[in-house]
Amino acid sequence: MTEATIESVLQENRSFPPPAEFSQQAHIKSLEEYEQLYDRAKADPEAFWAELAEQELDWFQKWDRVLDWQPPFAQWFVNGKLNISYNCLDRHLTTWRRNKAALIWEGEPGDSCTYTYAQLHREVCQFANVLKQLGVQKGDVVGIYMPMIPEAAVAMLACARIGAPHTVVFGGFSAEALRDRLNDGKAKLVITADGGWRKDTIVPLKEQVDKALAEKAVPTVAHVLVVERTKQGVHMEAGRDHWWHDLRQGVSADCPAEPMDSEDMLFILYTSGSTGKPKGVVHTTGGYNLYTHMTTKWVFDLRDTDVYWCTADVGWITGHSYIVYGPLSNGATSLMYEGAPRPSNPGCFWDVIEKYGVNIFYTAPTAIRAFIKAGEHLPKARDLSSLRLLGTVGEPINPEAWMWYHRVIGGGRCPIVDTWWQTETGGHMLTPLPGAIPTKPGSATRPFPGILADVVDLEGNSVGTNEGGYLAIRYPWPGMMRTVYGDDDRFRRTYWEHIPPKDGQYFYFAGDGARKDADGYYWVMGRVDDVINVAGHRLGTMEIESALVSHPAVAEAAVVGKPDDLKGNEIVAFITLDGNVTPSEALKAELRQHVGNEIGAIARPGEIRFSDALPKTRSGKIMRRLLRSLAAGQEVSGDTSTLEDRSVLDKLREGV
């Protein structure tokens, strides 16, 4: 066995057709309709996207050419002019949506507010005028370091309105992480708040900004605009720091949207990258607007009466694409929640669903595993009957977690869209269209129309049915990243050279392993960096973990390889047990046996370690790289700044 492929070992045969009532009212109503759409897009992607761009977006000036592809650099809708803030706001004001709720916001302490499209437009225009007064010009990069309050969305839209690319830094990142990102982007101004609520405490954002900017550590930043949220009292540096509520006084709410070139930069968003310097992923205007618009519309099957809730933070791509730009471009009602499930109210998400009659709920597998652990009595105590569609993103979802989500949260009636995509792809790539594509637990199903996905070996040959390989995309799409900010060469090396071009065709390398089944369904097997080589078999993490999670005692599992003289690697499993299960040697033996039964002896963990928690990034992804060092008995090295809870590592080191 070579590096060429990855072995797939897990079987999952359950399938859930879309409920008939759902399909009847859906945008895309049947598998045939999806397949027709897919085939048409594949035959002529440019015509497909051009038609949608014309129908779905407002342009100040039409493009000359749909696609200019100089691999690996793409330009979409060349010379087209538009503004995404215009598409998200202004164009709805001349329709009945003018007074429709655009944003519904619920604060963690229980305060709340709603902005209609007309109100949101007014806020954004004023905010944009204040930015201009502070000297921000078209092309200037603006840093946003905000809690989950409406002003975070207002700030993004205001930047987009005047053509100032934003770079949102997740509010949980440290001052150093903020400083590095602001410096890399050469930000001119930072938008922040005094603080934000998260898990019953105040996150002191302004204090972190002060640290990041101390001693002119970010020389390009001239001003800081501060939104008042938590009112705990903060230092305000004279001449540099300004309160939003002061500066907005008397400012005009008239601010026409700047005509932007389709390829003008809309934002930079840094991905942590497991090692080394964070990458500034660059997205531009026209292609991103179209791609997030279409995926929001078809994947969430949006209806005008829906209350749609995505639980991500605006600091991640999911928040950019599916709280702000995609939903608002569609004229949807997007719900924004400030905090996270917390000790004082672990069932708060279910309260929010009941309170607002949420119809579409989009969250991450890490959250679902936490819900499972917290117990089903919490959601059962609330009325969740308004829900009609569920979604997940961020990691492979284990089939048993999928089944729980379907049964307990979805009441068995809601389709689940398991959406595979990345910061780099801008929007959903592999995903069910919920009225058309039957779902299988653990599979992100089929590619979105216009996405030419494949599973290939390292020479770019498609692998056979049910053979594992590298997930790759064979043709540009409008939402793709354009480059790594300031580093075209890194862009080329990271994404386009792992699989060398073949017969003039380039392959976008996603870094994930996958297999395709006989129905053309994709099964993402985890990051290829995490693949474990056991006695010549290359195994993905997702399948072994899913086998472990299918045991009733297991809440969460992460497997890694530990160097072994004989086998190359031995599998070490880190396991979080269900709340009322006691760890024991007998249980370890039982779990090893269970994996043997589910998959086969080859995948049986050599070692099992129980733990209260697993190390995760702040967006909830398990950091297997750290577990690998622990399993090998080495010091944890490399970047740990993205770790959610540092104490988890110490506990794991002490071992169980």
User: Which DSSP helix (H) or strand (E) runs through 201?
Assistant: strand 201-203
Choose the stretch contacting ligand WTA; rule: CB under 6 A; options: 237-245, 407-415, 507-515, 647-655. 507-515
Task: Build a one-symbol-per-residue string for 513-542: x at contacts with ligand WTA by CB under 6 A, - elsewhere.
Answer: -----------x--x---------------
We find the least distance from the C-beta atom of residue 442 to ligand WTA, in angstroms, to be 9
Residues touching ligand WTA: how many (CB under 6 A)? Answer: 20
85 binds ligand WTA (CB under 6 A): no
- Residue 495 makes contact with ligand WTA by CB under 6 A: no
Residue with the two structure tokens 């963990």: 605
Alpha-carbon 373 to chain mean position: 23
Q: Which amino acid is present at 127?
A: F
- Residue 295 among known ligand-binding residues: no
How far is CA 113 from its chain centroid?
A: 25
Coil, helix or strand for 335? Answer: strand
Residue numbers 306-365 binding ligand WTA by CB under 6 A: 317-318
Question: Is 496 assigned a ligand-binding role in the annotation?
Answer: no
Cα dihedral sign, 459-273-158-105: positive
Backbone angles phi, psi at 608, to 5 degrees: -125, 130
- Binding test (CB under 6 A) with ligand WTA, winner from 457, 512, 543, 545: 512
| Overall size of the chain counted in residues | 656
Q: Is 180 in the site for ligand WTA (CB under 6 A)?
A: no
Residue 534 and residue 602 in contact, taking contact as beta carbons nearer than 8 Å: yes
Q: Does 292 bind ligand WTA (CB under 6 A)?
A: no
Query: With respect to ligand WTA, which residue has the nearer C-beta, 268 or 393?
Result: 393
| Listed ranges 53-61, 240-248, 394-402, 579-587: which one lies at the site for ligand WTA (CB under 6 A) | 394-402
3-state SS class at 117: helix
Angle between helices 150-162 and 117-133 (to 10 degrees): 60
DSSP character for 640?
Answer: -
Core vs surface per residue 595-607: b (16+ CB within 10 A) or e: beebbeebbbbbe
244 is an annotated ligand-binding site residue: no
Q: Give the C-alpha separation, 206 to 346, whole Å.
A: 27
The residue among 444 and 547 lying less far from ligand WTA, judged by its C-beta, is 444
Residues 441-470 close enough to bind ligand WTA by CB under 6 A? 444
CB 492 within 8 A of CB 505: no
Question: Among residue numbers 404 through 433, which ones bind ligand WTA (CB under 6 A)?
Answer: 418-423
Nearer to ligand WTA by C-beta: 454 or 512? 512
CA 285 and chain centroid, separation: 19
Three-class SS state of 390:
strand
654 phi, psi to nearest 5 deg: -60, -30
Q: Find the shortest distance in angstroms from Cβ 393 to ligand WTA.
A: 5
Residue 306 C-beta: closest distance to ligand WTA, Å: 21
Strands 223-227 and 241-243: parallel
Q: Is 394 annotated as a binding residue?
A: yes
Q: Which of 271, 285, 289, 439 binds ligand WTA (CB under 6 A)?
A: 271
Q: Is 512 annotated as a binding residue?
A: yes
**Is the distance from CB of 85 to CB of 131 less than 8 angstroms?**
no
The answer to whether the annotation marks 201 as part of a ligand binding site is yes
395 is in an annotated binding site: yes
Q: 525, 565 in Cβ contact below 8 A?
A: no
Nearer to ligand WTA, 347 or 450 (CB): 450
Write down the least CB distance from residue 10 to ligand WTA, Å.
14
Closer residue to ligand WTA in complex, CB, 209/444 = 444
Of the candidates 474, 417, 426, which has an alpha carbon nearest to the alpha carbon of residue 444?
417
Pick between residue 274 and residue 569 the one whose CB is nearest to ligand WTA.
274
Is 554 labelled as part of a ligand binding site? yes
DSSP SS3 for 153: helix
Q: Which residues are annotated as a binding site for CoA?
A: 198-201, 318
Q: Which residues are annotated as a binding site?
A: 198-201, 318, 394-396, 418-423, 512, 527, 538, 549, 551, 554
Q: Which residues are annotated as a binding site for ATP?
A: 394-396, 418-423, 512, 527, 538
Q: Which residues are annotated as a binding site for Mg(2+)?
A: 549, 551, 554
* Interacting residues with ligand WTA (CB under 6 A): 271, 317-318, 393-396, 418-423, 444, 510-512, 524, 527, 619
